[in-house]
Structure 1
C-alpha cells in the first residue's frame, strides 16, 4: 500500500481551477525591481490577487506570434516569480510548467512552489507563467456555445456507440474557432510554448533553466529539452505524457483506456470496504459489473437533474464522474455518492453552476487554448468512419470508458492546416532529466510514461512510485519518490538507474 501522507499539494491540485481563476485576476502595481542581470529590461511589479504571497512579482515578456517571422507581430507572456530565499545558495530559475493544455502557473510560486523543501526554495527563483493564449497573457477564445463546454458531451459516443453526434459537435465547435479565433489560435502549439519559455529564460538573464513540468507540462518540458538541450539544468517531469509524434493529443486521450483499467480496481477496493459510509458493494469484484450495469441503465433511462449541465444524469455523466474521481483517491466519494443515488433513482445535489461572467470566460479561454494546442500539434483524421471503427474496438476492449478515448474531438473538423510536424523526442542531449511517475494514474498512465522514458534513452532515469492518483511529486506519491525528486532539485544527485519507490 502506498504511503498516503496528507500533502498540502493535493489540495492545491484539486483546486487547480481556482488557482487558474486567481491567475486571471493578477494585477500590476508599482514597479519594485528592474531587470534580471543580462536579460532584457523586465519591469517587475507586485502581483495582486487572492491568496498570493506578498513576495511574488509579475512582469511580461514579448515573444513572436509566429516564430517563422520573428520580426513580425508580438504577443505578451505574463510571468511571475518569487526570488530565491537564500541568495548565497541561489543556483538559477526553476520554471513551474503547468498541466492542461489550458493550465496556468502564474500563482504557483505562491502555491505549490511553497510546498517545495526549504533547500529547493533556497536554490531557485520560482517562475510561473501563463502560456500563450491564456489570460493574462495575450488571450485566445473560440466563442463556443455554453453547452459545448460540458465535459460529459465532448467526445463520448451516444448509447448505441455512434460518433455522429460527436462529429456534429466537433464541426460546430471548430466552426466557432474558425470564426472567432483569429491569428493567435493558429499559432498555439506545444512547440511554440517551449519556444516562449526560452524567450522568458533569455529575458531573465539565465543561461540555463531548471523545470518542474506536471502532466501536460511534461510534454512541454520534453520539447524544451529537445529543442534547447544545452539550456537545461535539472529537469523534473511529473506524471508523464506519451510523446508519440504521430499522434500526440490522440495518444493522450487514448491513454484513459489504460488509466481507468489501472485505477478502477483501487476504487473498487475502497468502495467495498467494511465501515466505509459510501460503500456500494460487499466485494471489490462486484463493483465493476455494478458500475457497468448502472451506466447502461442510465444510457437508456436517464434521471432528470435540475440545475445541472446537462440537465440529466445519464450514462456518460456517470462515466465522466468516474474519470474525474479517479484522478485522486480523496475524490472517490463523489463517484460513490452518484452511484448510490442513481441506484435509488435519485440524483446528488447539482454541481455549483459557473459564475455567468468570470468562470465561463475562463472556461472559454481554457477551451480555446486546449483546442488550439491539441489540433495544431498534429493532424487528426477527418473521417467519421475512422473514429467509428476505433470507438467500436475500444468499447469492446474497454467497456468502462465506452469508446470515449478514441472518439473525435473538435480536431476532427479543425479548419487550419498543420504549420509544422510534431517534434520527435530523442536521446540527444545532456543526461539531466528525472521522470517521476505513479504506478496507477488515470490521466497519464505508466504505459505512456514508459514510452517517454524509452525516447529519452540515457538522458533520463525514471522513478516509478507505488501509488494511486494523478500527480506524484508532493501530491499523490509517497515519501520515497518525494525525497528522490527533492534531492535532485536541491543537489543534482539523481539515481544511477531507473528505480521503484515501494
Structure 2
C-alpha cells in the first residue's frame, strides 16, 4: 500500500517566503455572479493575485488567481487572515467564507480573521484547465470503479489510458505541468504577501489537509495557526491515500447499517446491521449481473460510498436502495441524479469537467504512479478480500498510470522542525479520510502538532461535524492560540 514516489528523497531547502513589497496588493471588488449568488446576504468581496505559472521562472508566464474575502467587522479584534480550502483537489473555496458564516462558525472567529477563500490554480476563476470530459463518456469519475475481476481492471486501464491522452491533448498551453500541491502552497504564501500580512493562518479539510501540511512544511516562518481536518496523512493524494478510502468505508458503513436496521419498518433493508450489510452485497452483485435502468454495481457502490459522508445523507441512500430493490425506475433515476459524486449529478454541472481535470492533474503530478496493469490487478485482488465493501474499487487503476507528465519536483516533505502550530482534527469513522490519516500526520509532525480525535462519523469535524468538544477546542486554538498540551479525545455530542 506504499505509493511509489519521491517521499524518501532529500527535500529541497524551504523556499523563501514572498516579500510583501514584491507582490501587488489585492484590489477588492464585486465577486462573480456564481459567488454572490451563493452568499447574497454576506458582504463577500473578490480580487485577484498574480503569481508565476512556473516558480522556477518567476519572471515568465504569469497567471491570475481569484480570491474572496469576508472581512472582520471589528478591526480592534482582528488578528489577521485565515486562508481556506475545502478539499478536492478541484474544489472552490470562493464561497467558503460565507458558507462557514452561514453554518454558524463562532463570531469570535469572524472577528479575529478576514476569511479568505480562493480558486486554486487551474480551477474555476484561476487560469482553469480542462480535459474536456463530456456527458456520457465512459469514465465515472476520479474514484475508480469497482472491478469484479482481472478483466475489469484491464478494461478500466484502457479507459484510463484514453483519459490521460485526452488530458494531454487538451493541454494546449502547457499549463498542466505546473498544477501541483507544492505550487499551490507557494501560491498561498504569495496571497499572504498580497494581503499585506507577515503571517497567515489556515483551515483546510480533506485534500485541504494535504495542502495545509505542505504549506506549513514549506513556510514554517510565515504560517500562523493551522487547523487541518479530515486528513489524508501526507502532502499529496497518492495511491495509498486513495486505497485508504476502502478502509474508511469499512469503518464507517456500520454506522449506516445500524441506522438503517433501526428503521427497518420504514425502509426494509434489514432488521440487524448484519442483514443491512448482506443487503448491500446482494444488491451490488445483482447489479453486476444485470444493471437496472442504467445503474450497475459500480455506480451502486460509488453512490453508497458517497452516502456515508454524513448522517444527513443516510435517508437518501436508503431510498436509493429501496428503489433499486423495488425496480422503481423513476425513483432510481431521480435519486441517482441527486447523489453527490454520481455521474448523473455532475453530468449537467458546468464545472465538473474542470474539477475532475484539476483532481487528476494534481494527483498525477505530485508523485509517480505504478505503470504496470498487473500491479493494479494484484492490489484489487488483495483489497477485494481485505475490504470487501469497496476495496476492489479504490485499488483500481487511474489515469495517473498513463500520465504523460513526470513529477517536476519531489513531493513536499513533512517538516517537523517548526512552531507547535498544527491542530489536527479527525473523526473516528470517516469514509474517505479514515482515522489513520490523522494519526499519520500526528506522527510525522511530532511536537509541532496535536491530534483531536472525535467519536463521530462522517467527513468533516470543525464546524461541519457538530461536535461541541471539537468546536470548542478548534475555536480556542484559532482565536486564543490555546494549543492543547496533549492530544484530545472528544466524546460523541449528545
The TM-score normalised by the length of structure 1 is 0.87
Aligned counterparts of 1:453 and 1:282: Cα–Cα separation in 2: 39
Q: Which of 17, 31, 38 is the matching residue for 1:51?
A: 38
The number of residues matched between the two structures is: 458
Other-structure match for 2:158: 168
- 8 Å contact kept, 2:225–2:421: yes
The answer for the alignment partner of 2:232 in structure 1 is: 241
SS at match of 1:96: strand
Q: 1:244 to 1:395 in 2, by over 3 A?
A: farther
Q: Determine the C-alpha separation between the residues in 2 that align with 1:489 and 1:137.
A: 28
Counterpart-to-counterpart distance in 1, 2:141 and 2:363: 18
Aligned counterparts of 2:305 and 2:98: Cα–Cα separation in 1: 29
Deviation (angstroms), 1:153: 8.6
Would the aligned equivalents of 1:375 and 1:414 in 2 still touch at CA under 8 Å?
yes
SS in structure 1 at match of 2:136: helix
Give 2:126's aligned residue.
137
Residue aligning to 2:408: 419
Shift of 1:339: 1.9
Distance 2:280 2:394 in 1: 18
Q: Which runs of 5+ in 1 are unaligned?
A: 1-35, 306-311
Q: CA deviation at 1:435?
A: 0.7
| Deviation (angstroms), 1:349 | 3.7
Structure 2 match to 1:116: 105
State the shift of 1:320 in Å: 0.6
The answer for the alignment partner of 1:156 in structure 2 is 145
1:473/1:482 contact within 8 Å kept: yes
Q: Would you say the 8 A contact 2:146–2:390 is kept in 1?
A: no
Structure 1 pair 339–275 and aligned structure 2 pair: CA distance change class (3 A) = closer
Which residue does 1:202 correspond to in 2? Answer: 193
- Aligned residue number for residue 20 of structure 1: none
Any residues of structure 2 matched to 1:307-346 within 5 Å, and which?
312-346=294-328
Q: What is the deviation of 1:376?
A: 0.2
Of 111, 114, 124 in structure 2, the residue corresponding to residue 125 of structure 1 is 114
1:277 paired with 2:266, answer yes
Is the CA contact 2:92–2:118 (under 8 Å) kept in the aligned structure 1?
Answer: yes
Structural mapping, 1:273-312, within 5 Å: 273-274=262-263, 277-303=266-292, 305=293, 312=294
Q: Residue 74 and residue 81 in structure 1: after superposition, are their counterparts in 2 closer, same or farther (change >3 A)?
A: same
Q: Does 1:379 align with 2:361?
A: no
* Contact 1:210 1:233 (C-alpha < 8 Å) held by counterparts: yes
User: Which residue of 1 is the match for residue 11 of structure 2?
Assistant: none
2:48 matched residue in structure 1: 60
- Name the residue aligned to 2:80: 92
State TM-score, norm by structure 2. Answer: 0.88
> Judging changes above 3 Å, is the alpha-carbon distance between structure 1 residues 478 and 157 closer, same or farther for their aligned structure 2 residues?
closer
Is contact 1:465–1:477 with CA below 8 Å preserved after alignment? no
SS of equivalent residue, structure 1 residue 110: helix
| Correspondence for 1:186 among 172, 177, 184 | 177
> Does the 8 A contact of 1:279 with 1:336 survive in 2?
no
Contact kept in structure 1, 2:84 and 2:115, CA below 8 Å:
yes
Q: SS of the residue aligned with 1:462? A: strand
Matches of 2:73 and 2:139 in 1, distance apart? Answer: 42
Q: Report how far residue 404 of structure 1 moved.
A: 1.0
**Residues of 2 paired with 1:37 and 1:396: CA distance?**
57
- The equivalent position to 1:228 in structure 2, one of 219, 226, 236, is 219
How many Å separate the matches in 2 of 1:149 and 1:215? 27
SS of equivalent residue, structure 1 residue 439: strand
Could you tell me how far 1:250 is from its partner in structure 2?
1.1
> How far apart are 1:257 and its partner, in Å?
1.5
Q: Of 432, 436, 460, which residue of structure 1 is paired with 2:449?
A: 460
Residue equivalent to 1:40: 24
Distance 1:265 1:38, change over 3 A: same
Does the 8 Å CA contact 1:152/1:320 hold for their aligned counterparts?
no
Higher mean Cα deviation, 65-74 or 280-289?
Answer: 280-289
Alignment of 1:472-487 (within 5 A): 472-487=461-476
Contact 1:241/1:252 (CA < 8 Å) preserved in 2? yes
Could you list the per-position Cα deviations for residues 22-43 of structure 1 after superposition, in whole angstroms to 9, with x for gaps in the alignment? Answer: xxxxxxxxxxxxxx99962322
Any idea what the Cα deviations from partners look like across 1:313-347, whole Å, max 9, x if unmatched? Answer: 21111101111100011111222122222223344
CA RMSD of aligned residues (A): 2.2
* Equivalent position of 1:5 in the other structure: none
Residues 267 and 228 (structure 1), Cα distance of their counterparts in 2 relative to 1, 3 Å cut? same
Deviation for aligned residue 1:355: 11
**2:65 aligned to 58, 62, 77, which one?**
77
Contact 2:142 2:356 in 1 (8 A): no
Deviation at 1:160, TM superposition (A): 3.0
Query: 1-side partners of 2:22 and 2:60: how far apart?
Result: 24
Mean Cα displacement is larger for which, 359-368 or 340-349? 340-349
1:251, distance to aligned residue in structure 2 (A): 2.0
Is 1:107 the equivalent of 2:89?
no
> Mean Cα displacement is larger for which, 483-492 or 150-159?
150-159
Separation of aligned partners in 2, 1:70 and 1:331: 46
Aligned with residue 482 of structure 2, among 480, 493, 501: 493
Q: Whole-Å Cα distance in 2 between the matches of residues 153 and 302 of structure 1?
A: 21
Name structure 2 gaps, 5 residues minimum. Answer: 1-19
